[in-house]
Amino acid sequence: MLLVGRGALPFPCCLLISLRDLGLQRHITYCRAAIHPLSGRAARRAPAGRNTTTAAAVAAPEQSKHQTKQNKGGQQAAKTAWEAIVGIECHIQLNTRTKAFCSCSNQFGGQPNAHVCPVCLAHPGALPVLNQETVHKGMLASLALNCSIAHTSKFDRKQYFYPDLPKGYQISQYDIPLGSSGSLELMFKDGTKRQVSIERAHLEEDAGKLVHGGSDQLSGSTHSLVDYNRAGVPLLEVVSGPDLRSGREAAAYAAELHRIMSLVGVIDVHAQDAVMRCDVNVSVRKKGEEQLRTRVEVKNMNSLSAIQKAVEYEMERQVELIESGRESEIVQETRLFDEDKGHTFSMRKKEGLADYRYFPEPDLPLLQIEENIISEVKDSLPEMPSAARQRLLQLKLPIADVLTLTDDMETATYLSAVLAAGAPPKQAANWVMGDLLGYCKEHKAHIGDLDLTPQLLAEMITLIESGTISGKIGKQILPDLIKGKVSPGSLEKWVKTEGLAQISDEATIAAMIDEVLASKPQELEQYRGGKTKLQGFFVGLVMKESQGRVNPAIMNKILMQRLQATKS
Amino acid sequence: MAEISVTDQEVEDWQHQIEDIVGWFDQLQAVDVSGVEPAAIADGKEQGSLRPDVPRAYENRDAIMESVPNKERSYVKVPKIM
Ligand SMILES: [Zn+2]
């Protein structure tokens, strides 16, 4: 043991730097540095990549099926008397082109260790230089979460030893985060809202990726493998206040966070690997109680269902322990969630507060951001989901529809453009939610990429509203419009040339009806004899005759007149 | 703390060096800094320039990887964890 601390914080840290400069870097990095009781990184890394938070995974969370499998007594108790106190820390991987502190590509997959350099491998003397896009995206994300941006913030070293961390420390932000004091609004299916406070949003770098490490390692194997492509990739860590009260709320929070990050374009929504990794802190209390009990941390989840089920399981477990007089068994610890088994298990107990010996990063200057830059970024923000939901609700759209339309903000943006082009809200919402989202789901397409522009859809809806074409014809021509057969502005002309315009002329329709009735004297006789349900039969024939183009209301009116006329 | 292999000779050499460093810190600790604002960073007043977000592959990557003591395929091989 070489290092002897002397109390003052900077001392062992400085010594560590001098050891690096003495050329011990290789030993620290690759060889004997293996285990530090504070880190537990193997377990943290091992599950990465098994489950991914993709756009598809971020649907509105449903009540977990898992709940029904739980012990009924505990379930009852959890539902009636207890509530969870949940705070979430999410690590969001920013989609910059380069890493946070070096010019290596921010890209994984492909060859391991393809994107490495002396900076991200911590070779002696290599100095970090902050990527401006990391700062920009960090600001975008923080401002989208209503955070205040620090005019002057700084970077710090968070120290622990683990082979996926070449420097022996992670560059992070400790006491002065980039963003602080923000909030995010959730809305549920019953229309209730919840404000969730965002305590902080700070920039940091990711570690490398351990392969064949941890629990899935073949027994007898003596090595782990490390890929440093991810080492130094920029992350934004977003820390919520302890404001969530259930698994459902926790999942809704993660979904909203993912939604906002996608909207402001700071994450790669097409990434194979998870772009958001979440840790949840869970404790329970009786409703109305002020006092807080021991909280447990469940680490490293990257799907909404895992977050929801982990919180529900923890709540269940803690309530049962308390109610059976074993509250002392709830200890401050880090647990992991096993998605297959649907339970959490202890990874390590916490012995006091983890001591990462933070100190200011001497290799990076202070990060100073002028007010005008902050305002510029703020002004560039698009409409946030909460505002879009509010706006759509004011158009009298039902809550369920509003939630569907704002689940992916690309859909909300598309709908807004359809509305701006003059289509009435209810009809526009129905076409977007039904036919368009159905098509996108079936063809794995993005609504924003369709050749059917919002303007063209609005044109079509307007033609239906004005009676120029029937709704049936609308459905019929939609595939052609999606394929880009018609250019915006020319739809009315096109439907007329194609002979698709609705027939609303009463004389024309009456003539068609008379022809149909004349061709079916037997059925007409039966109708006269009281078999009035034959009306549908005649409607079908007229529709067929006109290839679906007659105006149904006018046709029904005239048909009834004719049928009743013959009857009397 | 890291487990670091050192020879007896190194222990002897470095013991003095480290004692010197510790002694230097003792000198620093003796300075009266009452009334001085804590500086976040030594170079606090200077605003460093930020780097444009343009990828550039490090030209000596192969040499770096060659200096890795243990490899398997293109992974860095380390002792088993936990
Ligand atoms: Zn690099």
Q: Is A281 exposed, middle or buried (0-12, 13-18, 19+ CB in 10 A)?
A: buried
User: What is the whole-number distance in angstroms between the Cα of residue A229 and the centre of ligand 1?
Assistant: 8
- C-alpha to C-alpha distance for A166 and A21, rounded to whole angstroms: 14
Distance from CA of A465 to the nearest CA of B (A): 50
As given in the structure block, the two tokens for residue A103 are 């010019």
Output A45 or A262, whichever has higher pLDDT: A262
Using an 8 Å CB-CB cutoff, list chain B residues near A234: none
Q: Are A481 and A469 in contact (CB under 8 A)?
A: no
Burial A299-312 (b: 16+ CB within 10 A, else e): bbbbbbbbbbbbbb
Asked if pLDDT for residue A11 goes beyond 80, the answer is no
Q: Quick check: A218 pLDDT over 80?
A: no
Is B30 part of the contact surface with chain A (CB cutoff 8 Å)? Answer: no
Å between B38 CA and nearest CA of chain A? 12
For residues A172 and A367, the answer to whether their CB atoms sit within 8 Å is no
Question: Phi and psi dihedrals of A210, rounded to 5?
Answer: -90, 130
**Does the pLDDT at position A478 exceed 70?**
yes
Which H or E run includes A172?
Answer: strand A169-172
A111 Cα–ligand 1 center, Å? 15
pLDDT digits (tens, 9 = 90+) for A434-444: 999 999 999 99
Give residue A100 CA to ligand 1 midpoint distance, Å: 9
Task: Indicate yes or no: CB of B79 within 8 angstroms of CB of A365.
Answer: no
Higher-confidence position of B78 and A61: B78
What distance in Å separates the CA atoms of residue A117 and residue A483, rounded to the nearest whole number?
Answer: 47
Query: In this structure, are strands A209-211 and A223-227 parallel, antiparallel, or unpaired?
Result: antiparallel
User: How does DSSP assign A202-235, residue by residue?
Assistant: EEEE---EEES-GGGSPTT--EEEEEGGGTT-EE
* pLDDT interval class at A34 (50, 70, 90): very low
Do residues A82 and A321 lie in contact, with contact meaning Cβ atoms separated by under 8 Å? no
pLDDT of A79 higher than 60:
no
Instruction: Supply φ then ψ for residue A359, to 5 degrees.
Output: -155, 160
Chain B residues within an 8 Å CB radius of A6: 22, 25
Other beta carbons within 10 angstroms of residue A22's beta carbon come to: 12
On the question of pLDDT at A48 being above 90, the answer is no
Q: What is the pLDDT of residues A316-350, one digit of tens each?
A: 999 999 999 999 999 989 999 998 999 999 987 76
pLDDT tier for residue A370 given thresholds of 50, 70 and 90: very high
Whether A279 contacts A123, CB under 8 Å: no
* Per-residue model confidence (pLDDT) at position A273: 78
Separation CA A416–CA A392 (nearest Å): 9
Residues of A in contact with B31 (CB under 8 A): none
Q: Let me know how many helices (H) and strands (E) chain A has, helices first.
A: 21, 16
Asked if B81 and A163 come within 8 Å (Cβ–Cβ), the reply is yes
Sheet holding B71-72, edge to edge: A209-211, A223-227, B75-79, B71-72
**Amino acid of residue A191:** G
Nearest to B78 by CA among A33, A169, A48: A33
Q: How far apart are CA A311 and CA A332, in angstroms?
A: 15
Query: Distance (Å, rounded) from C-alpha B30 to C-alpha A208?
Result: 41
The answer to whether the CB atoms of A161 and B2 lie below 8 A apart is yes
Which residue on chain B is closest to A223 by alpha carbon? Answer: B80
Contact B58 A104 (CB under 8 A): yes
**Mean of pLDDT over chain A:** 84
Q: Do B53 and A41 touch (CB under 8 A)?
A: no
Contacts of B33 in chain A (CB under 8 A): none
Q: What is the pLDDT of residue A37?
A: 28
Of A274 and A252, more confident: A252
Chain B residues whose beta carbon lies within 8 Å of the beta carbon of residue A154: 40-41
Q: How far apart are CA A476 and CA A441, in angstroms?
A: 19
Residue pair A36/A160 in contact (Cβ under 8 Å)? The answer is yes
Query: In chain A, what residues touch B3 (CB-CB under 8 Å)?
Result: 32-34
Least confident residue range of A51-60, A88-97, A120-129, A237-246: A51-60
How distant, in Å, are the alpha carbons of A274, A300, A413, A448 from that of A453?
31, 40, 12, 8
Q: Which residues of A203-232 are buried (b: 16+ CB within 10 A; e: fewer)?
A: bbbbbbbbbbbbeebeeeeebbbbbbbbbb
pLDDT reading at A397 higher than 90: yes
Closest approach of A119 to chain B, Cα-based (Å): 10
For residue A175, pLDDT over 60 is answered with yes
Predicted confidence band of residue B43 (pLDDT cuts 50, 70, 90): low
The answer to whether the CB atoms of A129 and B51 lie below 8 A apart is yes
Distance A300 CA to ligand 1 centre (A): 25
Span from the CA of A105 to the centroid of ligand 1 (angstroms): 8
Cβ contact, residue pair A133, B53, below 8 Å: yes
Q: Tell me the whole-structure pTM to 2 decimals.
A: 0.79
Least confident of A92-106, A147-161, A214-228, A270-284: A214-228
pLDDT, position A81: 87
For residue A245, the Cα-to-chain-centroid distance in whole angstroms is 20
CA of A124 to the centre of ligand 1 (A): 13
Tokens representing residue A313 in the block: 């399981």
Residue A280 predicted with pLDDT over 90: yes
A357, pLDDT greater than 50: yes
The ipTM estimated for the assembled molecules is 0.75
Amino acid making up residue B12: E
CA nearest neighbour of A237 among A173, A190, A175 = A173
3-state secondary structure of A451: coil
User: Tokens 């002004």 map to which residue?
Assistant: A379
